[in-house]
Chain A
Amino acid sequence: MNANEIYEKIRNKFEDAIVEFKSDAIVEPYLEVKPDRVKEICEFLRDEPDLAFDYLMCLSGVDYANGTLGVVYHLYSMKHGHRFVLKVKVPVENPVVQSVESVWKSANWHEREAYDMFGIIFEGHPDLRRILMPYDWPEGSHPLRKDFQVPEFYNGMKVPY
């Protein structure tokens, strides 16, 4: 099934949750949805027999540098061999996205990484804590944010060159 057909199936069920579908995007088509609906859409994508997205290939955080953070989901179906890209965007002041950890277990660490690097809060994640940075890294400091400033010292060690 190609992206347009997959999009049609989602639109029939979740018309009110859709923000934008871009079928002529530069790399591959993607569908942007509302951050508080992403979990039920993902459950639908996984459970619908002719979609059967059983594999979350990648979950990435993004900083769009205009006060918007985002999460990108790359999905793949082992059964049908087709793929699809989902996106959500949230304001940087209140970056809350529904967790899809209950849909695909692999989202657990991916969401922790997105939280660690971008500060995106995944609602419903069972164990949302830092995964790459040290546990005592300054609260609210997320290195892949565009406005991130390197701290002068960390545990008495000078950080900048």
Chain B
Amino acid sequence: MGLLDKRFESENIVITTVEDVLNWARLSSLWMMQFGLACCAIEMMAASASHFDIMRFGIIPRSTPRQADLMIVAGTVTLKMASRVKRLYEQMPDPKYVISMGSCANCGGPYWEHGYHVLKGVDRIIPVDVYVPGCPPRPEALLEGIIKLREKIRRESLVKKKLPPVYVEEK
């Protein structure tokens, strides 16, 4: 604080960058789009429940895309559902983030070969920020995915290009 002490007479001033404040605000209050698709959604619900409690990260499920900035695609994206998922994503305001949760959302999961009805990876229709592997991933894995996303948002910049997707390591 030595430098600041000389510069400012008032004690209640903190110096930071706009970027840092915005990033900090964003990563501390990720409001997630509330919808689940398949078995992964049950794990997502478990992550929301008291045992794992993702609300401690400021994550609140919102039932409207207009007030959400995080989409957790939890489960099998069928072709029939894919266009709805895409529409929900498009209705969310920027900046918005996507976590692809589970093998189905990542790459089609067990349906990758014979699933005529499954989209082989949600990244074919919307950009994904964090991939969480598992079938289904345990709530801890989703928590790690959220932590990875928070790290990613912390490193974001107003002028630099968007950061590439990150992958949660399979345990």
Contact = CB atoms under 8 A, between A and B. Distances in A.
Contacts of B82: 155, 157
Interface in A129-155: 132-134, 143, 148, 150, 154-155
B150 interface: no
Interface string B107-127: 110001100110110001100
Contact of B117 (A133, A158, A160, A161): A133
Contact of B116 (A143, A155, A157): A143
A25 interface: no
A155 B84 CA distance: 12
A161 B113 contact: yes
Interface in B108-159: 108, 112-113, 116-117, 119-120, 124-125
B120 A155 contact: no
Given A134-B79, A155-B79, A155-B83, A161 B124 contact: no
Interface string B53-77: 0000000000000000000000000
Nearest to B114: A150
A160 B83 CA distance: 17
Interface in B74-105: 79-80, 82-83
Contacts of B107: 161
B contact face: mostly helix, strand, loop, or mixed: loop
B120 A160 contact: yes
7 contacts: A143-B117, A155-B82, A157-B79, A157-B124, A158-B120, A159-B79, A159-B116
Nearest to B119: A157
A5 B117 CA distance: 43
Given A161-B108, A161-B112, A161-B113, A133 B120 contact: no
Contacts of A143: 116-117
A118 to B, nearest CB: 14
Of all A-B residue pairs in the complex, the 4 with the closest CB atoms, nearest first, are A134-B80, A161-B120, A143-B116, A161-B112
